[in-house]
Amino acid sequence: MCETKPIYTESIIIIIIIMLMVMMSIRLKEMDKMVNNMKIVHVQSVLPEEDIIALKLKTGESSTKDAISKAVYYYLDCESIEKYQ
């Protein structure tokens, strides 16, 4: 015997999918505004070459710029760092 699915189940699934698409669209617009409003600052520093090599190895990045950027964002996101301040 074939089971019949109530029609409202398919309608609910469609509504949920539409709601998720709208929510994603709103979130993407918010993120776009954040990126467009972000001010970029050029930073320059003098560091020992050994530290840069170690940082590149630790972050897995080949460029100095990417290694420093990754380390900075890691530090900013790391909650355990706040314990030591």
Using 70 as the pLDDT threshold, list the residues of the chain that sit under it.
1-8, 35, 38, 79-85
Residue 7 phi/psi, 5° resolution? -65, -30
23-39 residue pLDDT tens: 888 777 777 777 677 67
Question: Across the chain, how many H-helices and E-strands are there?
Answer: 3, 0
Which alpha helices (H) appear in 4-79, and where do they start and end? Answer: 7-37, 49-59, 64-77
61 exposure class (CB count in 10 Å sphere: 0-12, 13-18, 19+): middle
